[in-house]
Amino acid sequence: MALSAFDDPVATLASYVPHLVASWEPPVDGPAWIQIDGTLLSADISGFTALSEKLAGLGREGAEELTNILNGCFEPMIEAVHVQFGDILKFGGDALLVLFSGPDHAARACRAAAQMREIVARPLVGVTAGRVQLAISQGMHSGTFTIYSLLVGHTDLLITGAGATETVDCESMAKPGEILLSSATAALLPAYLLGDPQEYDRRPLVSTPQVSSGIDDPATHRADADPARYLPDAQREQILVGAPAEHRRVTVAFVKFSHTDHLEDAGPAAVADHLQELVSVVADAAAENKVHWMATDIVADGGKIILAAGAPTASEDDEDRMLRTTRTIIEQTTAFDVRIGVNSGPAFVGDLGSPRRRTFTIMGDAVNLAARLMAKAHTGQVVASKALTDRARTRYELDTLEPFFVKGKSTPINASVDSATNE
């Protein structure tokens, strides 16, 4: 996707950030927030990791085929969201987080979700991969959502709070192929569209609602919007030079922070200050060790920060630099319950999506395992895979864990806890 002399870099970069940035200009000298009424949709697609692993051994050709297959799924999904004026806030590797605001936001979210389910149900076909069948589970909640603007070298947009938690909980409870609505979303729709109540009165969508004609895009646009400020420097450079997708070895850390929901009682200014304190520690530690800030993502009652060494650009001692980074984060953060998982291995690196909305991402089994190790960690711990610690040149004091099983793995995982982070 290299730029030609006639391409507009601003327009290119704009496709990598939410449409929200075209209507909201947060300050450049401190944290800020915006509150939006609407429906938040979380859609999780399964099957990408196995596909990535299958094509990883084919080098550049495998990366190109994977890109083509994934875009064959993402492009029509993005179009389905666009038709209903949804704003894709986050790509979580193989997941989408979409905010619908304005008139009929719940109905439009449901129509987009139903269309995405139809798209994913269609098998995809690759030259080497053959027939590929994906699956999707979706959840949504309606209410007021707070989006925070945080300074981490660039400006990162992070959504957290009770409404975001309810959205995540609905998606995690949904079965493959199911669209599960919170009671707040269900209350905005006719009862005949909904299935029987489930836990916490959540309701599955069983029929697609109609949407009033003549609804305009609720977003407004600034002529001076600068998408570059919302992208890390290394990612921006890779995007503008049109770096090709590839499989390469990466070292990945998932930094999870928890217990943000109770802070809402103190107001968004207090939450913003706490979040800024945390992300500044993470960003400074990453920059000092030349580790890349990749993205933030949504989790229940908190959030997660994804760091990478080896992508978008690589250098020596990736494993050591990541371990130094994570140790510093644990030592210096106090406001939140923080736990970290780190792993090293081959992953797909590149950008995905459509001309309307794209993302620069890393995905694959190595990335997923880092997330599983994060879930294994206790408060104040860094859990590192043996695949990572065996490659580290510096000898760290580590406490070996008993081998354990994680989702998606048929053999036990060997990992250690960085002892200095567990005191």
When the pLDDT of each residue in the chain is averaged and rounded to a whole number, the result is 91
- Does the pLDDT at position 153 exceed 50? yes
What does the pLDDT average to over 135-157? 97
What does the pLDDT average to over 134-160? 96
- Does the pLDDT at position 285 exceed 90? yes
What does the pLDDT average to over 68-95? 92
Give the pLDDT of residue 6.
42
Q: Helices then strands (H, E): number in the chain?
A: 11, 17
Give the pLDDT of residue 193.
97
Give the pLDDT of residue 423.
57
Inter-axis angle of helices 59-83 and 105-121, to 10 degrees? Answer: 150
- Give the rounded percent of residues in the chain with a pLDDT score beyond 70: 96
**16-66 per-position pLDDT tens digit:** 999 999 889 898 888 999 999 999 999 999 887 777 777 777 777 888 888
Give the pLDDT of residue 63.
84
What does the pLDDT average to over 1-12? 63
Rounded Cα distance, 330 and 332, in Å: 6
Rounded Cα distance, 128 and 232, in Å: 34
What does the pLDDT average to over 184-212? 95
Question: The tokens of 3 are what?
Answer: 């730029």
Give the pLDDT of residue 198.
93
- Does the pLDDT at position 288 exceed 50? yes
Torsion sign over Cα 297, 299, 305, 311: negative
What CA–CA distances, in Å, run from 67 to 127, 226, 354?
12, 27, 11
Torsion sign over Cα 305, 138, 358, 221: negative
Contact by Cβ (8 Å): 359, 352:
yes
Report the b/e string of 221-243 with b at 16+ CB within 10 A.
eeeebbbbbbbbebbbebbbeeb
Question: Interior CA angle at 300 toward 295 and 304, to 5°?
Answer: 25
Looking at residue 230, its amino acid is: Y
Rounded Cα distance, 332 and 380, in Å: 10
pLDDT tier at 422 (50, 70, 90 boundaries)? low
Looking at residue 376, its amino acid is: K
Q: Give the residues across from 35 on adjacent strands.
A: 146
Domain 28-212+244-421: give its CATH superfamily. Answer: Nucleotide cyclase, GGDEF domain (3.30.70.1230)
Looking at residue 74, its amino acid is: F
Rounded Cα distance, 161 and 145, in Å: 7
3-state secondary structure 161-203: CHHHHHHHHHHHHCCCCCEEECHHHHCCCCHHHECCCCHHHCE
**354-413 per-position pLDDT tens digit:** 999 999 999 888 999 999 999 999 999 999 999 999 998 887 788 898 888 887 777 888
DSSP string, 95-151: EEEEEEESTTHHHHHHHHHHHHHHHHHS-EEETTTEEE--EEEEEEEEEEEEEEEEE
Report the b/e string of 90-108 with b at 16+ CB within 10 A.
bbbbbbbbbbbbeebbbbb
Give the pLDDT of residue 13.
93
- Does the pLDDT at position 1 exceed 50? no
Which of helix, strand or coil describes residue 226?
coil
Torsion sign over Cα 88, 90, 94, 100: negative
The residues near 93 (Cβ < 8 Å, ≥ 6 apart) are: 48, 361, 362, 363, 367
Give the pLDDT of residue 132.
81
pLDDT tier at 2 (50, 70, 90 boundaries)? very low
Helices (H), 226-376: 233-241, 268-288, 318-332, 365-376
**324-367 per-position pLDDT tens digit:** 999 999 999 887 899 999 999 999 999 999 999 999 999 888 99
**204-257 per-position pLDDT tens digit:** 999 999 887 777 777 777 777 899 999 999 999 999 998 888 889 999 999 999
Give the pLDDT of residue 48.
78
Q: Give the residues across from 346 on adjacent strands.
A: 249
